[in-house]
Structure 1
Amino acid sequence: MKNKFKLLFTACICISTLSIHAQGDFSMKADKSEEEGYVRTKDPLVKANLDKWQGYKFGVLIHMGLYTQLGFLESWGLVPEPWVTRDGYDNYNKYAADYKNAQYKLNPTNLDSEKWAKMVKNAGAKYLIFTSKHHDGFCMYDSKFTDFKITNPALPYAKNPKADVLKNVLDASRKEGLAVGVYFSKPDFGTEDFWWSYYPPKDRNPTYDITKFPDRWKNYVKYTQNQLNELTTNYGKVDILWLDGCWVRPLSTINKRVEEYCKYPYDMDIDMKLISETARKKQPGMLVVDRWVPSAYEDYLTPEQVTPVKPLSVPWESCITLGNAWGWVPNDNYKSSKEVVQLMTSIVVKGGNLLLGIGPDAKGEFDPKVEKTLAGVGKWLAVNGEAIYDTKPVAPYLDGKLGYTQKRNAIYGIYMPTKDEKELPAEITLKTDLKGSLKAILLSNKQKLTSKKVNDGIVVSIPKELRTSLASQEAIVIKITK
Structure 2
Amino acid sequence: MSDFTEEVQNGVHNFSSESDWVKPEDPLILERLEWFKDQKLGLMMHWGPYSQLGTVESWALSDEDGDWSRDDINWTSDMEEFKRQYFGLNKTFNPVRFQPDVWAELAAEGGFKYLIFTTKHHDGFSMWDTHATDYRITGSDTPFHTHPYADICKHVFDAFRSKGLAIAAYFSKADWNTPYYWAPGMARGRNMWRGPSYDPKDYPWLWEKFVQFTHEQIMELMTRYGRIDVLWLDAGWVKAGRGGQDIRLGEVVERARETQPWLLSADRTVGGPYENYVTPEQTIPDGPLNVPWESCITMGTSFSFRYEDQYKSTRKLVHILLEVVAKGGNLALNVGPQPDGRLPEGAVRRMKELGAWMKKYGEAVYGTRICAPYYTSGCAFTRKEDTVYCSYLYPSPDSPVTEHIHIPYMETVASIELIGVDGNLEYVRSEEGITVRLPRSEWTGEAPIAHVLRIMTL
TM over 0.5: yes
Aligned counterpart, 2:100: 113
Q: Distance in 2 between matches of 1:431 and 1:422?
A: 19
Residue in 2 aligned with 1:462? 438
Shift of residue 59, structure 1, vs aligned partner: 0.4
- The amino acid of 1:339's aligned partner reads K
Determine helix, strand or coil for the equivalent of 2:296.
Answer: strand
Distance in 2, Cα, partners of 1:185 & 1:142: 16
- Deviation of 1:413 after TM superposition, in Å, equals 0.9
Match among 237, 241, 247 for residue 247 of structure 1: 237
- Give the aligned residue type for 2:258: K
How far apart, in 1, do the equivalents of 2:444 and 2:252 lie? 55
Q: For 1:413, which of 366, 387, 390 is the aligned residue?
A: 390
Gaps of 5+ in 1: 1-8, 17-28, 255-265
| Structure 1 residue 240, shift from structure 2 partner | 0.5
Q: Counterpart of 2:272?
A: 295
Deviation at 1:56, TM superposition (A): 0.5
Does residue 365 in structure 1 map to residue 338 in structure 2? no
String of CA shifts for 1:227-267, please: whole Å, max 9, x gaps: 0011100000000000000111112xx6xxxxxxxxxxx21
* Shift in Å, 1:51: 0.3
**Alpha-carbon distance in structure 2 between the residues aligned to 1:213 and 1:133:** 25
Q: Deviations over 1:34-71 (max 9, x none)?
A: 21221000111111111011011110111111211221
1:337 is the counterpart of 2:327: no
1:474, CA displacement in angstroms?
A: 2.1
Normalising by structure 1, we get a TM-score of: 0.89
Q: Which residue of 2 aligns with 1:478?
A: 453
For residue 330 of structure 1, give the secondary structure of its aligned residue in structure 2: coil
How many angstroms does 1:447 deviate by? 4.6
Q: Identity over aligned residues, as a percent?
A: 35
Q: Which residue of 1 aligns with 2:79?
A: 92
Contact 1:123 1:375 in 2 (8 A): yes
Aligned twin of 2:429: 453
Amino acid at match of 1:189: W
Q: Alpha-carbon deviations, 1:301-340, whole Å to 9, x = none?
A: 0011111111111111111111111110111121111111
CA distance in 2 between counterparts of 1:119 and 1:228 reads: 28
1:307-346 matches, within 5 Å, as 307-346=284-323
Alignment of 1:37-186 (within 5 A): 37-81=20-64, 82-83=66-67, 84-85=69-70, 86-186=73-173
Q: 1:208 to 1:272 in 2, by over 3 A?
A: same
Question: Is the CA contact (8 Å cut-off) linking 2:109 and 2:352 kept in structure 1?
Answer: yes
Contact 1:242 1:289 in 2 (8 A): yes
Secondary structure of 2:317's match?
A: helix
Cα distance in 1, alignment partners of residues 179 and 160 from structure 2: 34
Mapped pair 1:434 → 2:417: no
The aligned counterpart of 1:396 is 373
- Any conservation in 2 of the 1:182–1:242 contact (CA below 8 Å)? yes
2:211 partner letter: V
Instruction: Determine the structure 2 residue equivalent to 1:212.
Output: 202
Q: What is the number of equivalent residue pairs in this alignment?
A: 446
Deviation at 1:226, TM superposition (A): 0.6
Q: Does structure 2 retain, via aligned residues, the 8 Å contact 1:37–1:295?
A: yes
Aligned to 2:18: 35
TM-score (norm 2): 0.93
Cα distance in 1 between the residues matched to 2:24 and 2:151: 33
CA contact 2:90–2:141 (8 Å) conserved in 1: no
Q: Which amino acid is 2:160 matched to?
A: S
Corresponding residue SS for 2:266: strand
Superposed CA deviations along residues 10-45 of structure 1, whole A, max 9, x for unmatched, are 8626568xxxxxxxxxxxx979x7212210001111
Structure 2 CA distance for aligned equivalents of residues 100 and 447 of structure 1: 62
- 1:97-140 CA-to-partner distances (Å, cap 9, x unmatched) read 11111111111011111110111111111100111110000000
Task: For residue 455 of structure 1, report the CA deviation from its aligned partner.
Answer: 4.2
Residues 215, 357 of structure 1: alpha-carbon distance in 2 compared, 3 angstrom cutoff: same
Task: Judge conservation of contact 2:365–2:382 (CA < 8 Å) in 1.
Answer: yes
Paired residues of 2:381 and 2:391 also in contact (CA < 8 A): yes
Cα distance in 2 between the residues matched to 1:290 and 1:393? 24
AA at the equivalent of 2:424? K
Aligned with residue 326 of structure 2, among 344, 349, 373: 349
In 2: Cα distance, 1:447 partner to 1:361 partner? 46
1:377 aligns with 2:354: yes
Q: Which moves more between the two structures, 230-239 or 321-330?
A: 321-330
User: Aligned partners of 2:21 and 2:445: how far apart in 1?
Assistant: 44
- Return closer, same or farther for 1:13/1:244 CA change in 2, 3 Å cut-off: farther
Unaligned runs of 5+ in 2: none
Q: CA deviation at 1:199?
A: 2.4
Q: Distance in 2 between matches of 1:456 and 1:405?
A: 19
1: distance between equivalents of 2:42 and 2:410?
32
Q: Amino acid of the residue matched to residue 126 of structure 1?
A: K
Q: Secondary structure at the match of 2:373?
A: strand
Closer, same or farther in 2 for the Cα pair 1:62/1:397, shift >3 Å? same
